[in-house]
Amino acid sequence: MEMLEQLDELLTCRLDNRRKAVDPCTIVIFGASGDLTARKLIPALFHLFCEKSLPDPCRIIGFARRPKPDADWRKELLEDLKKYSKNLDLTKWDAFAASVFYCEGEFGDPAAYAKLQKQLQGFGNEKLAKNLVFYLAISPSQFAGVSEQLSKSGLLQKEDKNGFWQRVVVEKPFGHDLESARQLNQELTQFAHEKQIYRIDHYLGKETVQNILMFRFANSIFEQLWNRRSVEQVQITVGENLGVGGRGGYYEEAGALRDMVQNHILQVLALVTMEPPVTLEAEAMRDEKVKLLKSVRQVDPSQVKLMAVRGQYKEGVIDGQNVPAYRQEEKVKPDSNTETYVGLRLAIDNWRWAGVPFYVRTGKRLPQSASEVRIQFRPTPRVLFAAQCGPNLDSNAITLRLQPNEGIFLRFNGKVPGSSTEIRPVRMHFDYDAEFGAYTPEAYQRLLLEVIAGDSTLFIRRDEVETAWSIVDPIRQAWAKEPLKPEDFYAAGTWGPATADQLMCSDSHKWRKPHPTT
């Protein structure tokens, strides 16, 4: 018990933003005119400012090619903040905006970086000029070029003996296959050490994803059940009822396998199934995730049809509204073979999970938007209640709801009141909002603070990225050789193609619908 109490205390300390020690610094956002900056980055930084979690002093510089005075950019950001964000205290905006600046320049122009350096030096504080976070909210094809210019200008240094630091944050997609990911890693590490590179996956900043570690390793009643002896199967669902909208061009290049499985879903899988780390230090945590991903059985190209299915949504009805097919969306080819749905049957070849099937599905235009992990336990022997209760005698399960309505559900069988022996599955429900009654920080809010604090625990390491690509590449390559078949299409508003059910036929399992979101 003493060890559990110590772990609980350490995890609480790790997960508490208010305890982060942060040095004065400047955050430079490349791609300042993009949606990511307006919708996520500036709102996250503003919330941190309101909580007094940002370092004091701190400066924010937006770097983009369009000429724009500081005042105009601040005005645009405020308008976007009102449009996209909740829980705002606009009385603090003016104080925040006073630390927000703009730098005009082309990404490939050395003079623009000299201009940026002069602007940094103009703050009159050595830490603001040399403690730097470079957030590359730009196309991955520009990562290496911008990093090179930062290095040549002296703004990004691999070594600084005077105690200053620089960090580079890069967004997904990090490569489009294993080979391109390796090449991008090699290019970036020419200009920065691995410890300076923060590959961001916003899923890892979600409160419920972070709570997976606390739930598993600080609760002995669950940890001793978390293995092949007790678990029958695991299902991971990441569903969206939205279509691709205006992102058709991007989605044509990515598809659901690259967009969701290679990063978000494999990260969640690793946290749910990894071994406990020896410490809570970043490298110990990431070591365990990499070990787990390397234990995921590689799908043989000849077995792809048995282990993976894909689908693409047709026209259908969502929330009573007719919606178009994927091929009718803007910037989508009329004969596109891009998958909007992926279903996988994965296996983990290690001591803890040998023989347990892991079912993964993600898709667009599904009946509801919900992300959750369901751990289903082995059923009890059917010798007492099965004859009387039949299908009502359900297996016990724990569901980790990642979004929306974040929480944890425990499902077990209970007797219906009365003189009969009728059984019905019931739930115990832990809800974040009901329990804590407080604003839950957005993922980017947490992750940005981790970068400023120099904590890489929630970021993806080089070998992690490459291992994840090695899992999905054989599937991607097999699908590229064949067009979609009629049975691969599914109507919008349904749970994917009928072929997804075939993944479970050999195990006599079936997909479970996510818990209602309301």
Pair type for strands 308-314 and 316-318: unpaired
Distance CA 342, CA 256 (A): 6
Q: Which two tokens stand for residue 286?
A: 């990431």
Position of tokens 């007719």? Answer: 322
Q: Which two tokens stand for residue 165?
A: 């630091």
How many beta carbons lie within 10 A of that of residue 404, not counting itself? 12
Distances in whole angstroms, Cα of residue 35 to Cα of each of 77, 84, 338, 467: 11, 11, 24, 30
How many beta carbons lie within 10 A of that of residue 306, not counting itself? 13
Residue 202 appears among annotated catalytic residues: no
Q: Max Cα separation, the chain?
A: 84
Residue 152 makes CB contacts below 8 A (sequence gap 6+) with 110, 113
Dihedral sign (CA 364, 368, 374, 376): negative
Residue 392 and residue 399 in contact, taking contact as beta carbons nearer than 8 Å:
no
Q: Which two tokens stand for residue 162?
A: 């005077």
Residue 57 and residue 24 in contact, taking contact as beta carbons nearer than 8 Å:
yes
Distance CA 433, CA 309 (A): 36
Distances in whole angstroms, Cα of residue 484 to Cα of each of 183, 254, 307, 331, 412: 30, 16, 16, 19, 40
Closest C-alpha among 178, 173, 181 to residue 476: 178
Q: What is the CA radius of gyration of the chain?
A: 24
Closest C-alpha among 408, 466, 467, 398 to residue 433: 408
Which of 264, 429, 509, 515 is flagged as catalytic? Answer: 264
Strand ordering across the sheet containing 423-431: 423-431, 407-415, 397-403, 370-377, 231-239, 357-363, 341-347, 308-314, 489-491
Positions marked active-site = 264
